[in-house]
Structure formats: structure tokens, C-alpha cells
């Protein structure tokens, strides 16, 4: 599966449209990951707290969204463009790739919640494909 | 047996009590057919599913969406025994309809997204967790009798 040119445009346009709320989206998505899938908290033992909307969650949610926007800018070559991030996740963070799917679920719910009129089925399809390809690119250097 | 907190029970009851089945059912099924096009394999006799607009405007899809959503009512009324409640439906989906059980998960994901759009910020993280837990139990029960 790969993104068609049309789908790339849909992804760029949609993420461009919602960029002003990207910090909220990141915070909301990460908060939900930790609440809906509590096992993900295991990656954050070193934080002071993992409570919804707390400072460390907000800071890291914004960080993750930054990575997603970086990927939006590299749609024509996700694997190549995200090599460094992949190495980070593979060798340092060692996040089990199953969690990328869980995070995708959370971000899709947040996008639907915050932009019910813009997150049409067609946009949902393109974004879901993008997130799946992003996850694959991140897992590239794992083994 | 699945343990439900008071919050989870009341959340599920509330969501379904306030749900507009005629809107949510059609939207969820249509979204599933658009976002996961391979699910269209089960609807060969539904007519025009050639593109997103056709799917979203298809009256057979809309109707079936309502049927499927109302199918959840039994689980809502029998939260302490969803597995037994759906044993017969599970056999039906396996032996007669031959539906790959992974599709239940795909439809459940789409349902969460449609409900999130309907409820807006009322679909808090805790509400999302309760709703997805409920759907996960339903999905598991529907796949239980496959062999």
C-alpha cells in the first residue's frame, strides 16, 4: 500500500488546515493513548506523572506532533526522510511497533472529534494510510 | 468474566440512550467500506459501491448500518454476559455469512470515530476508553464461535 498523489494532496491539505491546533491534537492524542491503553504508560516510568493533560504529557504530545508534521513534509520518501527518527526509535527508545497502531487509533479519534466536518471518510482513509506508512518507516531500522 | 466499573456501565448506557441510530449506523458502515475497501467483499449485491460518494449515498448501506448498530443493543442490555448473548450471532457470521472476524474490529474502529464526531469534546479520554472496551468485548464475542 502506498499513497496516491491525490491522497498525498489530501494529507497535506488537511494537516495544513489544522496546524494551528497541532499542540492540542498532540496533547489530546497522547493523553488518550495513556488512558485508553494503560500498558503504554510503561514507556514513561521516568516521568513525574502520566496524568491526562499534565505537563510532561503536553510537552511530549507536542514533540510527537512535530514528528508527524515532519513526515507530512516528506510524503514522497517517508522511509528515507525518517531514517534518523527510525534509528532513534529502534536503538534508543525501542518502542514496540504495535504501539504505533494504538497511537494512530487515538489520533484518528481526536481528529474526528475536533474536526467532524473536515474528517470525512475520504480524509480518514488518506490519513489512516499515511499513519500506517509512517509507522512502517519508523520501524524500518528495528531489525 | 468482564469487570465493568460503574462509570463504564453508565457511560455505555448513556452513549446508546442518546445515540441517533439512523445517523450513526449508516455513517459507521459507509466509513468502514470507504476506509477499508476490502470489506466491500461482503456486499456484492448492494449495488453501486464504486466510489466514496456512491457508498455514502447508497440506501442499502444505510439500511444495513442501522441493522448492525441495533445489533449492539443486546450487548448494551446484557453487559455482564456479552459472550453468551452473541454466541448465536457469532455462529451466523462464521457459518453462514463467512465474515473474517477482523472486520468486526475495523467496523468498531469506524464506529468509535463516528461517535467521537457526534459527541465532540464530550467524548473524553475516559469515555473513549469505556466505549472501546465495550466494543472490544463485542468484537471478541462475535469471533468466539469461529472454528
Q: Where are chain B's structural domains?
A: 6-25+65-142
- As a whole-number percent, the residues of chain B with pLDDT over 90 amount to 99
One of 1.10.490.10, 1.10.150.120, 3.20.20.70, 3.40.50.620 is the CATH number of B6-25+65-142, namely 1.10.490.10
Residues of B in contact with A116 (CB under 8 A): 117-118, 120
Report the pLDDT value the prediction gives residue A1, as an integer from 0 to 100: 87
Three-point CA angle B64, B66, B71, nearest 5°: 95
- As a whole-number percent, the residues of chain B with pLDDT over 70 amount to 100
Mean pLDDT of B79-105: 94
CB distance from A50 to chain B under 8 Å?
A: no
Measured distance CA(A54)–CA(A50) in Å, rounded: 7
Provide the shortest C-alpha distance from residue B31 to chain A (in Å). 5
The answer to whether residue B137 scores a pLDDT higher than 90 is yes
Query: What is the per-residue DSSP string for A17-44?
Result: HTGGGHHHHHHHHHHHHHHHSGGGGGGG
Measured distance CA(A53)–CA(A30) in Å, rounded: 9
Residue entry with cell 441495533? B70
Kindly tell me the sign of the dihedral angle through the C-alpha atoms of B128, B132, B135, B137: negative
- Contact yes or no for B132/B112 (Cβ under 8 A): yes
Residues 22-41 of A with CB under 8 A from B: 31-32, 35-36
Q: What are the tens digits of pLDDT across the range A41-59?
A: 999 999 999 999 999 999 9
The answer to whether residue B1 scores a pLDDT higher than 90 is no
Report the pLDDT value the prediction gives residue B23, as an integer from 0 to 100: 97
pLDDT band at A108 (very low <50, low <70, confident <90, very high): very high
Indicate the pTM of the whole model: 0.92
Mean pLDDT of B76-95: 96
Amino acid at each position: 500500500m502506498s499513497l496516491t498523489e491525490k491522497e498525498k494532496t489530501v494529507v497535506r491539505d488537511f494537516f495544513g488546515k489544522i496546524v494551528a491546533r497541532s499542540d492540542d491534537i498532540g496533547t489530546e492524542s497522547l493523553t488518550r493513548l495513556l488512558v485508553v491503553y494503560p500498558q503504554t504508560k510503561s514507556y514513561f516510568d521516568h516521568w513525574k506523572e502520566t496524568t491526562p493533560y499534565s505537563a510532561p504529557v503536553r510537552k511530549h504530545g507536542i514533540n510527537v506532533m512535530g514528528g508527524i508534521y515532519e513526515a507530512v513534509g516528506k510524503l514522497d520518501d517517508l522511509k528515507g526522510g525518517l531514517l534518523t527518527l527510525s534509528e532513534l526509535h529502534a536503538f534508543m527508545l525501542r518502542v514496540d511497533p504495535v504501539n504505533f497502531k494504538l497511537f494512530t487509533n487515538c489520533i484518528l479519534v481526536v481528529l474526528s472529534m475536533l474536526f467532524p466536518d473536515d474528517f470525512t471518510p475520504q480524509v480518514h482513509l488518506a490519513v489512516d494510510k499515511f499513519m500506517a506508512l509512517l509507522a512502517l518507516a519508523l520501524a524500518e531500522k528495528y531489525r | 468474566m468482564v469487570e465493568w466499573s460503574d462509570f463504564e456501565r453508565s457511560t455505555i448506557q448513556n452513549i446508546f440512550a442518546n445515540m441517533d441510530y439512523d445517523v450513526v449506523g449508516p455513517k459507521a458502515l459507509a466509513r468502514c467500506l470507504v476506509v477499508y475497501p476490502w470489506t466491500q467483499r461482503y456486499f456484492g449485491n448492494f449495488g453501486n459501491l464504486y466510489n466514496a460518494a456512491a457508498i455514502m449515498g447508497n440506501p442499502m448501506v444505510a439500511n444495513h448500518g442501522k441493522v448492525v448498530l441495533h445489533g449492539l443493543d443486546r450487548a448494551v442490555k446484557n453487559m455482564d454476559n456479552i459472550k453468551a448473548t452473541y454466541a448465536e450471532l457469532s455462529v451466523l457470521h462464521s457459518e453462514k455469512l463467512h465474515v473474517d472476524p477482523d472486520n468486526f474490529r475495523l467496523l468498531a474502529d469506524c464506529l468509535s470515530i463516528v461517535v467521537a464526531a457526534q459527541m465532540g469534546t464530550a467524548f473524553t479520554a475516559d469515555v473513549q476508553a469505556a466505549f472501546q472496551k465495550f466494543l472490544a468485548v463485542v468484537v471478541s464475542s462475535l469471533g468466539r464461535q469461529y472454528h
